[in-house]
Structure 1
Amino acid sequence: MKLSLGLKVANSLSLTPQLQQAIRLLQLSSLELEQEIQNQLDSNPLLEKVEEHIDQQVDDKKIENTAELSDQLNENYLPDDLPIDTQWDDIYTHQPTALGSGDFEDKQEQHSEDMTLKQHLEDQINLLNFSKIDKLIAFCVIDALDEKGFLSISIEETVESVEHLLDQVGLSHLNIEEDEVLVVLKHIQQLDPLAVGSRNLVECLFIQLNALPDSIKEKSNALNVLKHYQFLITNDLQKLLKVTSLSILELKETINLIKTLKPYPGIDFQSKQFEYQIPDAVVMKKNNMWSVGLNPDIAPKLRVNSYYSSLIKRADSSVDNQYLKTQLLEAKNFIKSIDERHKTLLKVATCIIRHQQDFLEHGDEGMKPLILRDVAEEVELHESTVSRVTTNKYILTPKGLFELKYFFSSHVGTTTGGECSSTAIRARIKKLISAESPQKPLSDNTIANLLKNEGIDVARRTVAKYRESLHIPSSSDRKVLI
């Protein structure tokens, strides 16, 4: 092998730490950004958040109070309430009353927490006169419930689960029969919520119907209809009328009764926690013009700590001084990256709103076709940058809170040579279906023809795809005869 020394010129792309940080901050959501800022504030002593100074306001208040007190003392009496420059609660921590105590508030919060379905059933089972084996079976059944309240495993699997637990505690000689499990399951199904532990929807409805008073005249008809549930599921009302021998009016009243039942026994115990999104930007209309502004709550003002920065000595190469210099540089770079993030976000959001003003005025039907490349070219950024800045970023509009990516949509050609966004077409399809006759629902082909009459050239299969994306069933499933 021969070694040689030479020069070579080549182009390469290298990302500086500052650029890497800027790209990373750009794709963070508002909550992630808040956490990142807090981490930087905790780790970098030269970085601080700008707080509102109220010293001058306090001084003015004291001067005002002093003047008022002087005027009152010049008179020949002392008032019952002397002005003070602070509040009693600021200097004295009083013992709160029972209703306002922390203990009471904690207990109130504990009671307000949502009890799970499992906890609710366990509390009831502990009150029943069950044997130890029956209680063990009951707990195995509860553990096998899904979030809808249905039993997610078979009776055979439940038996195996119980026997496995018995084996773990040294009682493998005890045999559990399927009938024992069924008896316990019947008891559980009568607990609150009624029909919990049902193995399917039909059993759930049967249990609820049987629990109704016999005085309800539609009860027997409803039980008869459920025996032929396959026709009810397929919406084949003609066969349902034939096999049940009911009149159209009787069938209508019976179905109305069935609709009052709960399809899922555990629905009231499903998690009610919602994920609330904080808007990164806000759209407002001023002087008939739409303007975009950043949410100040997610854009705190940062600055370099003047005290620590004043300790830096230019010619000092000590460890402490080098540390302060490094932290100063990181603080400045972080502030610059945050500022660039907000500028880019505002620039992109403003561009999007400029294109989608009809949406703000008329809703989804006014949405214009828009893709990443259109915005990228207009704001002179790369498409990947626009993609990052619109992902997990939300904007508050008069029409609601939307992710910035919501305003991007593909287009469909019109008969006049223009373009119509897929979002607007979906909104139009939804509006047409909402206005249709339940007895004669619109087919996908009919909807396609109606849209074509409006100048929107869209195929039947495209209508079907958009309808399915809206979770709207087909015309045959939407048809109602009674």
Structure 2
Amino acid sequence: MRPALALRMGQSLAMTPALQQAIRMLQLSTLDLQQEIQQALDSNMMLERTDELDSAADDTPEPAADDTKANDDAIPDDLPVDADWNDIYDGGSHRSREADEAWYEYRQANLHKKTSLREHLAWQADLAGFSESEADIAAHLIDAVDDRGYLADWPTVEARLQELDHDGDAITSVLGTVQRFDPAGVCARSLSECLHIQLDGLNAGPVVDLAKLIADEHLDALARNDMRALSRALRQPVDVITESADLIRSLQPHPGADFTDHEAEYVAPEVFVTKKNGRWSVSLNPDITPKLRINTEYLGLVKRADQSEDQQCMKQHLQEARYFLNSLKSRNETLLRVAQCIIEQQRAFLEYGEEAMKPLVLRDVAEQLGVHESTVSRATSSKYMHTPRGLFELKYFFSSHVSTVEGGQCSATAIQAMIRRMIKEEPPEKPLSDSRIAKLLLEDGIQVARRTVAKYREAMDLPPSHERRRMV
């Protein structure tokens, strides 16, 4: 075949850098968007925040001429080499006393390192008056404590101490001492021992003694809430058993939980939902997105007819700044449109609650807005909406549907709310089984299988009926 040149016409879709940036910014969460904006401000000379400029202009005082002159006269021209600046000039701080106190409280609340469980136990061991051998045993025991406060692998720890030529009686003695440390129940080898140690610290009495017996031998029956079985096994009235069981439930099964760092995760809503004049409307959260604009001074320099290297750099930054602002504007507009469409579809939820939730999928919103499903998916990913009923992720409003007896559709979220309500209102001595819940839903016109009820119940972390039964 002889080589030849040919001309063909065709169409193809190419993603420009501006389109790629707009798509990427649309799927960013609140925190990622703030980081992206801050990175753009740091790297692009053409971008600036209008809110900072306005506040700086309002807060900047005009210095008085007399004050400036007085300060200049107060500082001598020639200072000794060993002079202390504070002896010559007391400039004072620009921060007010209230600001300093607020900063100190902030550092104390947020920058203070929390003492770990092992450090807390080691501090108490130093004050226990152990001998050198006992201190070595205590150090090994404390090092073996897990984050829950338990000696989870006690056989291995005991074997290791015996390899170090520590006597068994000494190990038992030191273990008993460490188990009396704070927090109560620490260094226990099992849940029963942990509860027993905590009960030993309470005033002795019939209720406490009975609670110890339950913790040692009948925890399984207590977990099933079978008070009648406990009453038969211990030969005690049900009311006495119930009092001891309530005492056990008030104890801490994980003594080390208070020493575990719990980092709070704060969620900032992207949009707010309010009702005005009988109509639900959405608005963007102004606190999460700072107001940006192009620097007018640098923009005036770019207008010069100059092709120098500095001019090329500023022109490139100007183009990138315009792309960034357009992408940010497009993100906000798309997010508002998607949120408004969701609110219009789920108006019954805002009025009446979860049981009034309607089935909704991404395709429904995409068809109504005239966009692709992937655009709706990006707009609802990791974004939250603040409503009068609480804070919800945008994806929460999307759910599959279940057919009703009359041929209609019911949202899976609404069915889960109904199941939660039924379980909450059930008698504790005779909880509803999954089959019974399915029959009750069928009476309401919702046809679901027993396994579907079980799936929804497990998704809500609700135990089965035999675990919810409480014999009284």
TM-score relative to the length of structure 1: 0.83
What per-residue deviation string (whole Å, max 9, x for no partner) do you get for residues 34-86 of structure 1? 11111101110011122364799799x99xxxxxxxxxxxxxxxxxxxxxxxx
Structure 1 segments unaligned to the other structure (5+ residues):
63-90, 164-172
Does residue 344 (structure 1) correspond to residue 334 (structure 2)? The answer is yes
> Is the CA contact 1:394–1:402 (under 8 Å) kept in the aligned structure 2?
yes
Q: 1:218 to 1:293 in 2, by over 3 A?
A: same
Distance 1:255 1:6, change over 3 A: same
Per mean C-alpha deviation after superposition, the further-off stretch among 329-338 and 47-56 is 47-56
Which residue is 1:28 aligned to? Answer: 28
Distance 1:102 1:351 in 2: 43
User: 1:369 maps to which residue?
Assistant: 359
What is residue 145 of structure 1 aligned with on the other side? 145
Distance 2:180 2:156 in 1: 21
Report the 3-state secondary structure (helix = DSSP H, G, I; strand = E; otherwise coil) of the residue aligned with 1:279.
coil
Determine whether 1:222 maps to 2:216: no
Q: State the shift of 1:121 in Å.
A: 1.9
Aligned to 1:135: 135
- For the residues of structure 2 that align with 1:472 and 1:53, how far apart are their CA atoms? 53
User: SS where residue 311 of structure 1 aligns?
Assistant: helix
Q: How far apart are the structure 1 equivalents of 2:376 and 2:99?
A: 53
Instruction: State how far apart, in whole Å, the 2-side matches of 1:104 and 1:316 are.
Output: 52
The verdict on how the C-alpha distance between 1:345 and 1:200 changes in structure 2, with shifts beyond 3 A counting, is same
Deviates more, 1:270-279 or 1:365-374: 270-279
Structure 2: distance between partners of 1:8 and 1:154: 78
C-alpha contact 2:141 2:157 (8 A) present in aligned 1: no
Aligned residues: 442
Could you say if the C-alpha distance between residues 477 and 159 of structure 1 is closer, same or farther in structure 2, counting changes exceeding 3 Å?
same
Maintained 8 Å contact 2:116/2:259: yes
Listed one character per residue, the Cα deviations across residues 361-411 of structure 1 (whole Å, up to 9, x for unaligned) are: 122112111111111111111111111110111111111111100111111
* Partner Cα separation in structure 2 for residue 325 and residue 57 of structure 1: 31
Partner of 2:264 in structure 1? Answer: 274
Aligned pairs for 1:306-345 (under 5 A) are 306-313=296-303, 315-345=305-335
**Pair 1:102–1:337, CA change in 2 (3 A):** closer
Do the aligned partners of 2:271 and 2:386 also contact (CA within 8 Å) in 1? yes
Where in structure 2 are the equivalents of 1:195-210 lying within 5 Å?
A: 195-210=185-200
Aligned counterpart in structure 2 of residue 390 of structure 1, from 380, 404, 409: 380
What amino acid is the match of 2:116? T
CA contact (8 A) 1:155 1:181 kept: no
What residue identity is the alignment partner of 1:18?
A: A
Query: Which of residues 272, 286, 292 in structure 2 aligns to 1:296?
Result: 286
Task: Tell me whether 318-327 or 236-245 shows the greater mean CA deviation.
Answer: 236-245
Normalising to structure 2: TM-score of the pair?
A: 0.85
Residue 449 (structure 1) aligns with? 439
User: 2: CA distance between counterparts of 1:274 and 1:127?
Assistant: 34
Q: AA paired with 1:218?
A: V
Q: Is the 8 A contact 1:313 1:321 kept in 2?
A: no
> Which residue in the other structure is 1:436 paired with?
426
Contact 2:222 2:245 in 1 (8 A): no
Moved more, 406-415 or 101-110: 101-110
Correspondence for 2:254: 264
The residue aligned with 1:14 is 14
Mark the CA change 1:103 to 1:451 in structure 2 (over 3 Å): closer, same or farther. Answer: closer
1:124 counterpart residue number: 124
Tell me if the contact between 2:150 and 2:190 (Cα under 8 Å) persists in the aligned partners: yes
Cα RMSD over matched residues?
Answer: 3.1
Q: Which amino acid aligns with 1:327?
A: H
Q: Deviations over 1:329-385 (max 9, x none)?
A: 100000000000100110101100111111111221121111111111111111111
| SS of equivalent residue, structure 1 residue 296 | coil
**SS state at 2:359 partner:** coil
AA paired with 2:152? S
- How far off its partner does 1:249 sit? 2.6
CA spacing shift, 1:104–1:133, aligned 2, 3 Å: farther
Amino acid at match of 1:42: D
3-state secondary structure, aligned to 2:283: strand
Q: Is the 8 A contact 1:141 1:158 kept in 2?
A: no
* 1:208, distance to aligned residue in structure 2 (A): 1.6
Q: What letter is aligned with 1:124? A: Q
Aligned to 2:182: 192
Change beyond 3 A, Cα 1:375–1:136: farther
Q: Which residue is 2:66 aligned to?
A: none
Residue aligned with 2:448, SS: coil
Tell me which of 449, 462, 465 is aligned to 1:472: 462
CA distance in 2, matches of 1:7, 1:130: 93
Give the C-alpha shift of residue 430 in structure 1.
Answer: 0.8
Q: Is the 8 A contact 2:179 2:186 kept in 1?
A: yes
Q: Write out per-residue CA displacement over residues 428-451 of structure 1, whole angstroms, 9 at most, x where no aligned residue.
A: 111111111111111111111111
Does the residue aligned with 1:402 lie in a helix, a strand or coil?
strand
Q: Which amino acid aligns with 1:145?
A: V
Could you tell me how far apart the structure 1 residues matched to 2:296 and 2:222 are? 75
Would the aligned equivalents of 1:156 and 1:178 in 2 still touch at CA under 8 Å?
no
Q: Distance in 2 between matches of 1:103 and 1:333?
A: 38
Residue 255 of structure 2 aligns to a residue whose secondary structure is coil
Letter of the 1:115 counterpart: T
The answer to whether the Cα contact below 8 Å between 1:152 and 1:199 also exists between their aligned partners in 2 is: yes
CA distance in 2, matches of 1:133, 1:103: 47
Deviations 1:184-239 (A, max 9, x none): 3322221111111222211111112223222x211222222231333333444444
Assess, with a 3 A threshold, how the Cα gap between structure 1 residues 140 and 341 changes in structure 2: closer, same or farther: farther
Query: In 2, Cα distance between the equivalents of 1:412 and 1:347?
Result: 27
Give the conservation status (yes or no) of the 8 Å contact 2:228–2:238: no
Aligned equivalents of 1:388, 1:148: Cα separation in 2: 39
Q: Which amino acid aligns with 2:180?
A: Q
